[in-house]
Protein backbone atom coordinates (compact mmCIF):
# COMPACT_ATOMS: atom_id res chain seq x y z
CA UNK A 1 0.00 0.00 0.00
CA UNK A 2 2.76 2.46 0.94
CA UNK A 3 4.79 1.46 -2.08
CA UNK A 4 1.87 2.35 -4.35
CA UNK A 5 1.51 5.74 -2.69
CA UNK A 6 5.23 6.39 -3.12
CA UNK A 7 5.04 5.52 -6.81
CA UNK A 8 2.03 7.79 -7.30
CA UNK A 9 3.76 10.62 -5.42
CA UNK A 10 6.91 10.20 -7.53
CA UNK A 11 4.90 10.26 -10.76
CA UNK A 12 3.05 13.39 -9.64
CA UNK A 13 6.35 15.09 -8.79
CA UNK A 14 7.73 14.25 -12.24
CA UNK A 15 4.58 15.53 -13.93
CA UNK A 16 4.70 18.78 -11.94
CA UNK A 17 8.38 19.23 -12.84
CA UNK A 18 7.62 18.92 -16.53
CA UNK A 19 5.16 21.85 -16.35
CA UNK A 20 7.96 24.39 -16.01
CA UNK A 21 9.61 23.71 -19.35
CA UNK A 22 11.07 26.85 -20.87
CA UNK A 23 12.03 27.51 -24.43
CA UNK A 24 11.63 29.93 -27.28
CA UNK A 25 8.22 30.12 -28.85
CA UNK A 26 8.05 29.81 -32.60
CA UNK A 27 5.00 29.78 -34.84
CA UNK A 28 4.12 26.44 -36.36
CA UNK A 29 5.20 25.96 -39.96
CA UNK A 30 2.47 26.96 -42.38
CA UNK A 31 0.38 28.92 -39.87
CA UNK A 32 0.01 32.70 -40.17
CA UNK A 33 1.00 35.07 -37.38
CA UNK A 34 -1.76 36.95 -35.54
CA UNK A 35 -2.99 40.07 -37.34
CA UNK A 36 -1.56 43.47 -36.50
CA UNK A 37 -3.70 45.54 -34.12
CA UNK A 38 -5.94 48.31 -35.41
CA UNK A 39 -3.99 51.52 -35.95
CA UNK A 40 -0.56 49.89 -35.75
CA UNK A 41 1.89 49.86 -38.61
CA UNK A 42 4.06 47.02 -37.28
CA UNK A 43 3.49 44.09 -34.93
CA UNK A 44 4.20 44.74 -31.26
CA UNK A 45 7.51 43.51 -29.85
CA UNK A 46 7.76 41.33 -26.77
CA UNK A 47 8.88 44.27 -24.62
CA UNK A 48 5.94 46.37 -25.79
CA UNK A 49 3.54 43.57 -24.95
CA UNK A 50 4.98 43.06 -21.48
CA UNK A 51 5.14 46.75 -20.53
CA UNK A 52 1.92 47.79 -18.71
CA UNK A 53 0.21 50.93 -19.95
CA UNK A 54 0.54 54.04 -17.74
CA UNK A 55 -3.09 53.95 -16.63
CA UNK A 56 -2.77 50.44 -15.18
CA UNK A 57 -0.95 51.81 -12.12
CA UNK A 58 -1.71 55.52 -11.83
CA UNK A 59 0.27 57.65 -9.44
CA UNK A 60 -1.48 58.78 -6.29
CA UNK A 61 -2.11 62.50 -6.43
CA UNK A 62 -3.86 63.18 -3.15
CA UNK A 63 -4.28 61.21 0.05
CA UNK A 64 -7.84 60.66 1.26
CA UNK A 65 -6.91 61.19 4.90
CA UNK A 66 -5.32 64.59 5.23
CA UNK A 67 -4.29 64.24 8.86
CA UNK A 68 -4.06 61.24 11.15
CA UNK A 69 -7.12 60.85 13.34
CA UNK A 70 -6.53 59.61 16.86
CA UNK A 71 -10.13 58.76 17.73
CA UNK A 72 -12.73 57.36 15.42
CA UNK A 73 -15.55 59.74 14.74
CA UNK A 74 -19.12 58.68 15.44
CA UNK A 75 -20.70 56.96 12.44
CA UNK A 76 -24.53 57.07 12.41
CA UNK A 77 -24.65 54.21 9.88
CA UNK A 78 -22.49 51.81 11.94
CA UNK A 79 -25.44 49.89 13.41
CA UNK A 80 -25.40 46.53 15.18
CA UNK A 81 -26.83 43.58 13.24
CA UNK A 82 -30.54 42.95 13.60
CA UNK A 83 -31.88 39.72 15.11
CA UNK A 84 -33.40 38.50 11.85
CA UNK A 85 -32.62 34.97 10.69
CA UNK A 86 -33.11 33.19 14.01
- Model confidence at 6, pLDDT cuts 50, 70, 90, reads confident
Name 42's Cβ contacts closer than 8 Å, sequence gap at least 6: 36
d(CA 44, CA 40) in angstroms, rounded, equals 8
Q: Model pTM greater than 0.75?
A: no
Question: pLDDT digit string (tens) for 42-84?
Answer: 888 878 888 888 778 767 666 566 666 667 678 888 888 887 6
Amino acid sequence: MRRGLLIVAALMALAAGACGRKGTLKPLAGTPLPPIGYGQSAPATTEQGLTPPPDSQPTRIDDVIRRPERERQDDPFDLPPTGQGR
